[in-house]
Amino acid sequence: MTKYFGTMQFYKRALLIAVPVMLQQLIQTLVSLVDSFMVSGLGDVKMSGVNIAGQILFVFMIFVNTVCTSGGIFMTQFSGAKDKEGMQQSLRFKIIASCMAMALFFAVCLIFPRQVLSLMVIGNNQAEEILDVAEEYIRLMSIIGIPMMISTIIASSLREIGRVKPPLVISIAATLINTFFNWVLIYGNLGAPRLEIRGAAYATIIARIVEMILFVGYIVIRRQPFMFRLSTIWKVDFSLFRQILRKGTLVLFSEMLWVVSETVTSALYNQRGGAEVVSGMASSFAIANLYFVAIGGMNMATAVIIGHTLGEGRLEEARQQKNWMLSASVVFGLLMTGMGMLTTFLVPVVFGNLSAGAQKICKDMVLMMSFFMPCWVYVNTQFSIARSGGDTKMGAVTDGIFTLAIAMPGIFLLALFTTVGPVMMYFFVKIVDIPKVIFAHFWLKKGRWIKNLTAQET
C-alpha cells in the first residue's frame, strides 16, 4: 500500500497546503455565486451580458496565472533549495511578463470591446441587447486589471514558498467587501443609488483595490525571501529568463489552448437559443466552481511538495510522492462528485429569478460536470506533477492532440450538422478528457519530470 498511499504525516502536510488554497477559492466562488444571484435578479439579458464580459476577464486571468505558473515552477524549486536570488529572479519574470499581458487586456477592454464581445454571441437571438450590457460592464472592469495582476503575482509567490494562510485571510477580507458593496450598489441599499450592472462593477473594483493594498502591505511589513527593490527590476538573469520562457511558452500554449477552446465552445453553445442559454450555462459554472476548488488545491499541494523535494535533490522520493498525490486526487475527485450532485439543489434557490429554460440548462450542466470531477482532478494533478519538474511539454502535447485535433473539430461538426443542445455539446467535448488521463499516465512513467532545476542553474 505504501507504493500508492503515503503516511498520515505526508497527507497532513498536503492538506495544510491544499485546504487554505481551497478555502480561498471557495470563498471567492461563494462571492461570485452571490454576485450571479444578485445580477440574475436583473433578468436573463443582463446576466448574459455580464457573463460574456466575464469571458475577457477570464482569459486575462488565465494568462496572468499561466505566467505565474511558469515562474512558479522555478520559485518552488528555488524555495526548496533556499536560493533567495533564484526566487527574486522568478518574481521579476512574473512581473515583466504580466505587464505585457496587461497591455493587451487594456486594448481589448477600451479600444475594441464590442468587436471582441460580439464573437461570443454570433447567431444569438438577443445578441445586440446582450452586447449593450456587456460593453458597458467591461469598460468599467478594465480598471481592475492592474490590481488583479499585482494581487495574483504576490498570492502565487506566497503559496509557492509554502505560505498559504496570508492569501486566504486577505481573500476573505476582499470578498466580504465585494459582497457588501454588491448589496449596496446593485439594488441601491442604505440610501445608495440603484446602479444595477454598474454597481456590480464598482463593487468588484473597490474589492480588488483593497485586496492589492493588503497584499502589498503584507509583503512590505513582513519581507519575503522573493522580495527585491523595485529599482532593481531590470537586474535580470537572462539565462534563467530564457529557461523560464522555454518552459513557460509550452505552459502558455497549453493554457491558452484550453481558454480558447472554452471560449469558442461557449460561443457555439450560445447559438442554441437566446439569453436563456447564455445565462443558464453561466449560472451552472457559478455553482460548479464550488467543487472545482478541489482542482486548485490539489495542484498547489502537488506543485509545492514535489517541487520542494526536487529542489532539495531528493529525486527518488519525488517519484514516490507522485503516486501518493495521484491516489489522493482520486479520493478528492470522488468526494467532489458527491458534492456536485448535492449542489443541484441550489439552482432554484440561487437562480430562481432566471427563466425556467435557463434553470433547466443550469441543473443539467451542474449534474454532468460533477460526474467528470474524478477525471479532471486526476489529469490536473498529472499535469502539476510534470510541471513541478519543468516538464511542460506533456501538457502541451496532450492538449494539442486531444483538444486541438479532436475536441475542437468535433464541436464544430456538432454545431454545423446537428441540433444537439448545449448540454450534450458540452458532454461530447469533455469526454475527450478521459483518454488524456491514459496518455499522461504513460508519459509520466518515463520520468522526464524528475529534475532538479536549481542544480541545472548552478
What pLDDT, in 10s, does the model give residues 370-429?
999 999 999 999 998 998 888 888 988 888 888 888 888 888 888 888 888 888 888 888
pLDDT digits (tens, 9 = 90+) for 296-341: 888 888 888 898 888 888 888 888 999 999 999 999 889 889 988 8
Backbone angles phi, psi at 352, to 5 degrees: -65, -20
Phi, psi (degrees; rounded to nearest 5) at 222: -115, 85
**Rounded Cα–Cα distance for residues 238 and 20 (Å):** 34
Enclosing H/E stretch for 167: helix 165-187
Q: Specify the pLDDT at position 458.
A: 42
**125: its cell numbers:** 437571438
Spatial contact of 92 and 236, defined as CB atoms under 8 Å apart: yes
Q: What is the separation of C-alpha 98 from the centre of its chain, rounded to a whole number of angstroms?
A: 16
Which pLDDT score is estimated for 286?
77
The DSSP output letter for 233 is T
pLDDT of the chain along its 458 residues, tens only?
A: 566 787 888 888 888 888 887 887 777 666 666 666 666 666 667 767 777 777 777 778 888 888 888 888 888 888 878 888 888 888 999 998 888 888 888 888 888 888 888 877 776 667 778 888 888 888 888 888 899 899 999 998 998 887 888 888 898 888 888 888 888 888 888 888 888 778 888 888 899 899 999 999 999 898 888 888 888 888 888 888 888 888 777 887 887 787 778 777 777 877 777 778 877 887 888 788 777 777 888 888 888 889 888 888 888 888 899 999 999 999 988 988 998 888 888 788 777 777 888 888 889 988 999 999 999 999 999 998 998 888 888 988 888 888 888 888 888 888 888 888 888 888 888 898 899 999 999 999 988 888 887 765 44
What is the reported pLDDT for 379?
93
Distance CA 338, CA 340 (A): 5
Residue 14's closest CA among 302, 334, 309, 310? 302
The answer to whether 279 touches 354, Cβ cutoff 8 Å, is: yes
